[in-house]
């Protein structure tokens, strides 16, 4: 059944493997940032820092501040601010910061709430990566179940000889299908479709070409054409002319 996996290789790569790899990378980054931000939030302290000077460095505006830790030791830090905010900050003369009690020289502009928001954002990034991985895994499992269903049809289903009735490419895509029809056990006619194929693969199935198909006698709407000659391994299968 490896040929059916090969038919699905493009969607498997785009909707299966790629989300898993991208999600794993994003989740790994998110967990790394989350570990750092969580430790920072648990050990942070809020303080008012005194504005010392502004340094215009095109196209940025840098602001130097000075603050004290819980032991009264002074520390300095430099932040990038919007040039439009500089006059307001200069008139106030102080800003709110949070710093890490374990390493007081590590400081950020803002309040405890903003630090918690950063932690929540990192959690969302890690969660988004996990969802991408889950999407890719679910997609691959779904495709695996489809291949398993085809395998069961070919092993236990009713085999009929039919022919290609029509074929068409999907609008705006490089993939297409052909259709076929067969008479079910109740005398009704049912139509089936091939798996998605490239234009080159579809060219091997001209209208009128004979083909074997297997269907579920209990649900004839479930059928699959034998595009890779798998059914010829069964002894009860008629040989195509």
Other beta carbons within 10 angstroms of residue 14's beta carbon come to 12
pLDDT value, residue 117? 74
pLDDT value, residue 182? 95
- The residue count for the chain: 241
What phi-psi label fits residue 47: left (phi over 0), alpha (psi between -120 and 50 degrees) or beta? beta
pLDDT value, residue 204? 92
Give the residues of the chain that fall short of pLDDT 70. 1-9, 112-115, 235-241
pLDDT value, residue 43? 82
The residues, ordered by sequence, that sit 6+ positions from 98 with a Cβ below 8 Å of its Cβ are 44, 45, 46, 47, 107, 108, 110, 111, 112, 114, 115
pLDDT value, residue 114? 67
CATH number given to 157-233 = 2.40.50
pTM of the model: 0.62
Task: Please say whether the beta carbons of 164 and 193 come within 8 A.
Answer: no
pLDDT value, residue 3? 64
Task: Please say whether the beta carbons of 240 and 210 come within 8 A.
Answer: yes
Domain ranges across the chain: 1-51+86-149, 157-233
pLDDT value, residue 59? 79
At 88, list the tokens.
């307001």
pLDDT value, residue 220? 93
pLDDT value, residue 127? 92
The residues, ordered by sequence, that sit 6+ positions from 119 with a Cβ below 8 Å of its Cβ are 34, 37, 38, 40, 41
Q: Which residues of 191-201 are buried (b: 16+ CB within 10 A; e: fewer)?
A: ebebbbbeeee
d(CA 16, CA 118): 30
């Amino acid at each position: 059944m490896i040929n059916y996996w090969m038919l699905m290789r493009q969607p498997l790569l785009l909707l299966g493997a790629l989300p898993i790899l991208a999600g794993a990378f994003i989740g790994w980054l998110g967990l790394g940032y989350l570990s750092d931000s969580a430790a920072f939030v648990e050990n942070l302290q809020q303080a008012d820092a005194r504005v010392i000077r502004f340094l215009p460095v095109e196209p940025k505006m840098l602001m130097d501040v000075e603050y004290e830790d819980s032991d009264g030791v002074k520390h300095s830090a430099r932040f990038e601010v919007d040039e439009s905010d500089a006059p307001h900050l200069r008139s106030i003369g102080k800003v709110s910061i949070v710093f890490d009690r374990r390493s007081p020289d590590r400081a950020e502009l803002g309040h405890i709430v903003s630090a918690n928001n950063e932690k929540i954002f990192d959690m969302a990034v890690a969660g988004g990566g996990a969802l991408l991985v889950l999407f890719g895994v679910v997609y691959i499992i779904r495709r695996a179940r489809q291949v398993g269903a085809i395998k069961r049809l070919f092993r236990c289903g009713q085999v009929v000889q039919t022919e290609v009735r029509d074929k068409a490419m999907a609008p705006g895509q490089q993939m297409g299908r052909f259709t076929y029809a067969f008479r079910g056990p109740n005398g009704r006619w049912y139509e089936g479709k091939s798996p998605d194929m490239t234009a080159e693969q579809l060219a091997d199935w001209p209208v009128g070409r004979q083909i074997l198909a297997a269907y579920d006698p209990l649900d004839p709407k479930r059928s699959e054409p034998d595009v890779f000659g798998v059914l010829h391994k069964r002894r009860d299968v008629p040989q195509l002319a």
